[in-house]
Structure 1
Amino acid sequence: MRNFDAIIIGAGQAGPPLAGRLNDAGMSVAIIERHLVGGTCVNTGCKPTKTLVASAYAAHTARRGGDYGFSVGGPITVDMKAVAARAAKVIVDSREGNENWLSNMDHVELIRGQARFESATEIAVNGERLTAPRFFINVGGRASVPEMPGVGDVPVLTNTDMVALDVLPRQLVIVGGSYIGLEFAQMYRRFGSEVTIVERQDRLIAREDPDVSAAVRGILEAEGVVVRTGADCIGFARAGEGIAVAVDCADDARPIAATHVLMAVGRRPNTDDLGLDAAGVAVDSRGFITVDDYLQTNVPGIWALGDCNGRGAFTHTAYNDFEIVAANLLDGEDRRVSQRLPGYALYIDPPLGRVGMTDEQAGRSGRRLLFSKRPMTRVGRAVEKGETQGFMKMVADADTRRILGAAILGTGGDEAIHGILDMMNADQSIDTLRWAVPIHPTVSELIPTVLLDLATALPDG
């Protein structure tokens, strides 16, 4: 039996920085990783996908050379092996950076292997038993592949497979019209694939407002992506060397021919082989670890951080989980998950930046509301770049004059949204932000104008 002051299971986005804080506090720490240091973000998520998005954007911009007054002198071709190699280098560099960081911590030991609880104070890993008064579970999640007719009879890909793909699919069918699926749809269409999105619900990214869903669909379809919504009875069968995807859609029931199929229908937590029952740690019906507002489980001395706790599915929420735990444990603060504003981005081009409530959520709150919306054609920076698709909009409480939510679908939207997020986080009124003097020419400079437009009216769409 080896004793530590703390044991961290999983080296994703919350684990290494927490190890660093505990190390600086003089605690002995074991951080256990069974696969790749850095978790989803570094190895199969944000880092490689946004690298691929950048390559696809460059190819798309080159094809639009005539819009900007230049010619490349021939058709644009994409070398997928070079594209994949670029993404792989970003992965390896980031992973090695994390590994070197951990190896330089005086009181931290990185252990490679599968951890499994033997009790609430003891785990087994590599035939060895480790114990500590504090456990932090940071095991992340993985792509879900649900049971569908024939899904076991054909090869299907997940996001993990896609970021390692070094060939161009001739016909790519993506099952799932949400954030991950849409990013891969646009990037592979720009690389040169024929792309079809199949979505069970009647619109893409159904958690967004209908006008956002419709605008995103329009952006993708304008580039040649085929979208099939309202798709029931999705099934798969081999068809020669390819795959036939059966889709019963209300408006189109024709099967789809595919050379590759990407499953992008959600994720599940990596909690099924941790021995959580031996520790008495509670999970919900989907396997997510149940935590309170302080990220503590039902068992004293055990916390759960990141994607495995169901309280956020982003790198920034996982990192904030670390910040909350470290602040409470080491700094004597009172930080809670409920204080966190929901903010995120969809990285199609142009990107969608989102914070707070949607219009629909605000409408259900019973408040008196103010709405405002402006097209990106009114943004000088967007016009100058020749990228005027999308819009920005806000919803505010008419009585408190606090912004409740905002969406910026347009060039730079993933960055410009932070001006609104920061004001919401500081609990400032729309009048305060209205008198900010943004820099010209930027996307953010339209925000005060959008605030001036706030009026008691229903949002479009």
Structure 2
Amino acid sequence: MKTFDVMVIGAGSAGRYGAKAAAKLGAKVGLVETGPFGGLCILKGCMPTKAYLRSSELIGLLKKAPEVGIYPGKHVGIRFDQIKQRKDKLIAEMADDAYQGVLRHPNITLLSGRARFLSGKEVQVGDERYSAERFLIATGSRAMIPPIPGLEEAGYITSDEALEMESLPESMVIIGGGVEGTEFGQFFARMGVKVTLLQRGERILSHEDEDVSEALAEILRNDGIDLRTGVREVMIERDRQGEWISFEEHERVQKVEAEVIMIATGRTGNIDGLHLSAAGVETHPLGIVANDFLQTSNPNIYAAGDVTGGAQIVNMATYEGEIAGTNLVKGPVQKADYRVFPRAVFCDPEFARVGLSERDARERGIPVRVGKFPFSDLGKAIITDRTEGFIKIVADAQWGEILGAAIVGAEASILIHQAAVAMHFRSTVEEYAKISHIHPSLAEIMLYLADEMVGRE
């Protein structure tokens, strides 16, 4: 039986960063991956979806071009085969780069196969058994499939299969109005697919503030998406005409036909087959229970990334991986701090947030003052014809410390880092208002709002 100091199960973002952090501290690390190599972000998440969304972003720009005096033609030609080929090529290169990075590390041994715990200190990978003093579980997540009558018989796709489609359908129903539903819905709509988006709650991205959800809903509808909210009792039915998705919307039964059904109702920790009970690792409905040190109920086994069921964003996965990797070697010396974590939805225009939303603050009973400034009042947005959306800042009511920010608008995923940096250094709105900004620039939107909030407008 081969022995390692540390074994990491899963070579996605959290697993690779955890393995490298432990190896950097001198640990001999066994890194287990079932394959294909790369993890969700590279293979099925961040990178391939954003490659696709770049194409739909350009379509949006071309459609708006006449507003600034440019006429690219009445019809935009779409070669979906080229879009997919470009995506596949980029992803293959990124996956290989990540693979080579692991192979080059002298303290990491890559093991291929599916891991299964035999005890708190032993795992089986394929036909081989390995032991280690400490483990990191970073097996990522998988799509959650809701119990919809008739769904299995009708057939469906998730985001995984959506990225492998060889051709575009004429119509699609997307069930779920979260990040995946929003991004894929807009992409397929701009590709010319008739998209119907069904959301169980009364608004899409229901965890965000109401004004954010309303702004994004308007964006989707402007792209021709048939957005239905407050949906209940979804089922798939068949009749002589074909397959129908039946649902109740605000107490009225509706039916819609679609060539493809896509499920985008969230993801859950990928723990099947790990035999966690043998290792004494507790779970919850969305994954593995872990404390602030990323320790599980077995103090020698850690968990990081999507498998814990937390916010499924890659910058959090890599952050947790590094902390877990350090704690695997040094013991529980570093806690995870989630105060400043920017995240984005890459629709067009984008949405991004960092820190507390207004809703978060109110629900926690934190006294705050909230400011809001529209892109339609920003010079650079006006002259570049990107006036949709707004920025919102949530600040401590007494001291003015910036506790959170949300942006719906052009380049939101870039602009949000201004707020993230300010929050990292615990800047107040008044202090931020002293920072000089280039004029004209989209970045000024945060300065103008800060000026308003401190009465310097």
Deviation at 1:378, TM superposition (A): 1.5
Residues 82/239 of structure 1: CA separation in 2 closer, same or farther (3 Å cut): farther
Question: Alpha-carbon deviations, 1:418-455, whole Å to 9, x = none?
Answer: 11111112112222111111222322212122122228
For residues 153 and 111 of structure 2, the distance between their equivalents in structure 1, rounded to whole angstroms, comes to 37
Q: Give the distance between the partners of 1:422 and 1:233, measured in 2 at CA.
A: 44
Alignment match, 1:307: 306
Greater mean alpha carbon deviation, residues 58-67 or residues 2-11: 58-67
Q: Which amino acid aligns with 1:324?
A: I
Residue 311 of structure 1 aligns to a residue in which SS?
A: coil
Q: Is the 8 A contact 1:351 1:409 kept in 2?
A: yes
Matches within 5 A, 1:426-441: 426-441=425-440
Greater Cα shift, 364-373 or 100-109: 364-373
Tell me the equivalent position of 1:10.
10
**Mean Cα deviation higher: 318-327 or 183-192:** 318-327
CA distance in 2 between partners of 1:119 and 1:332 (Å)? 20
Q: Deviations over 1:77-124 (max 9, x none)?
A: 211111111111121111101111111111221111100000000000
Q: Which amino acid aligns with 1:175?
A: I
Counterpart Cα distance in 2 of 1:269 and 1:365: 27
Identify the range of structure 1 (268-277 vs 354-363) with the bigger mean alpha-carbon deviation: 354-363
> C-alpha separation between the residues in 1 aligned to 2:11 and 2:415?
31
* Number of the residue aligned with 1:43: 43
SS where residue 136 of structure 1 aligns?
strand
- Describe the SS at the equivalent of 2:283: coil
1:366 deviation in Å? 2.8
Deviation string, structure 1 residues 275-302 (Cα, Å, up to 9, x no partner): 1001111111x15111110001111211
One-letter amino acid matched to 1:182: T
- Determine the structure 1 residue equivalent to 2:71: 71
Going from structure 1 to structure 2, the CA distance change for 1:365 and 1:74 (only over 3 Å counts) comes to: closer
Matched, 1:349 2:348: yes
Match of 1:191 in 2: 191
* CA distance, structure 1, for counterparts of residue 338 and residue 63 of structure 2: 45
- Asked whether the 8 Å contact 1:59–1:76 carries over to 2, the reply is yes
Q: 2:400 is matched with which residue? A: 401
Distance of aligned partners of 1:253 and 1:122 in 2 relative to their CA distance in 1, 3 Å threshold: same
Quote the Cα distance in structure 2 between the aligned partners of 1:23 and 1:367.
Answer: 42
1:316 and 2:341 are equivalent in the alignment: no
3-state SS in 2 of match to 1:5: strand
Q: Structure 1 residues 100, 256: CA separation in 2 closer, same or farther (over 3 Å shift)?
A: same
C-alpha spacing 1:214/1:339, structure 2 compared with 1 (3 Å): closer
Q: Partner residue of 2:357?
A: 358
Q: How does 1:205-216 map to 2 (within 5 A)?
A: 205-216=205-216
Residue type of the partner of 1:353? Answer: A
Higher mean C-alpha deviation, range 186-195 or range 23-32: 23-32
Q: Map of 1:267-416 to 2, 5 A cutoff? A: 267-284=267-284, 286-328=285-327, 334-416=333-415
SS in 2 for 1:133: strand
Aligned equivalents of 2:237, 2:443: Cα separation in 1: 49
Letter in 2 for 1:215: A
Shift of 1:252: 5.2
Relative contact order: is structure 1 or structure 2 higher (C-alpha 8 Å, sep ≥ 6)?
A: 2
Partner amino acid, structure 1, of 2:351: L
Aligned amino acid, residue 234 of structure 1: V
Paired residues of 1:153 and 1:238 also in contact (CA < 8 A): no
**2:261 is the counterpart of 1:261:** yes
Q: Normalising by the residue count of structure 1, what TM-score does the alignment of the two structures yield? A: 0.94
Identity of aligned residues (%): 31
Write out per-residue CA displacement over residues 172-210 of structure 1, whole angstroms, 9 at most, x where no aligned residue.
110011111000011111111111110111111111111
Ranges in structure 2 where 5+ consecutive residues have no aligned partner: none
CA distance in 1, matches of 2:299, 2:45: 32
Give distance in 1, aligned partners of 2:424 and 2:405.
13
Letter in 2 for 1:153: E
1:118: which partner in 2? Answer: 118
- Relative to structure 1, the CA distance from residue 403 to residue 239 in structure 2 (aligned partners, 3 Å threshold; closer, same or farther) is farther
Change (3 A) 1:4 1:326: closer
Q: CA separation of 1:279/1:385 partners in 2, compared to 1, >3 Å: closer, same or farther?
A: same
SS in 2 for 1:192: coil
Structure 2 match to 1:151:
151
The structural deviation recorded for 1:339 is 4.5
After alignment, is 123-132 or 232-241 more displaced? Answer: 232-241
8 Å Cα contact 2:20/2:325 also seen in 1: no
Q: Deviation at 1:251? A: 6.7
Partner residue in 2 for 1:127: 127
1-structure distance, mates of 2:139, 2:387 = 40
- 8 Å contact 1:372–1:395 — kept in the other structure? yes
Code of the aligned partner of 2:408: L
Matched-pair contact (CA < 8 Å) for 2:429–2:454? no
Map of 2:28 onto structure 1: 28
Shift of residue 239 of structure 1? 5.6
Within 2, Cα distance between the matches of 1:238 and 1:379? Answer: 52
Q: Call closer, same or farther: CA 1:168–1:117 in 2, change over 3 Å.
A: same
In the alignment, what sits opposite 1:459? Answer: none
| CA deviation map 1:110-168 (0-9, x unaligned) | 11110000000000011110001111110000111111110111120101001111211
Aligned Cα root-mean-square deviation (Å)? 1.9
In structure 2, relative to structure 1, the CA distance for the partners of 1:215 and 1:370 (3 Å cut) is same
SS at match of 1:132: strand
Query: Any conservation in 1 of the 2:268–2:309 contact (CA below 8 Å)?
Result: no
Following the alignment from structure 1 to structure 2, what is the Cα–Cα distance between the partners of residues 89 and 130?
Answer: 35
Give the length in aligned residue pairs. 455
What is the letter of the counterpart of residue 3 of structure 2? Answer: N
1:44/1:274 CA distance change after superposition, 3 Å: same
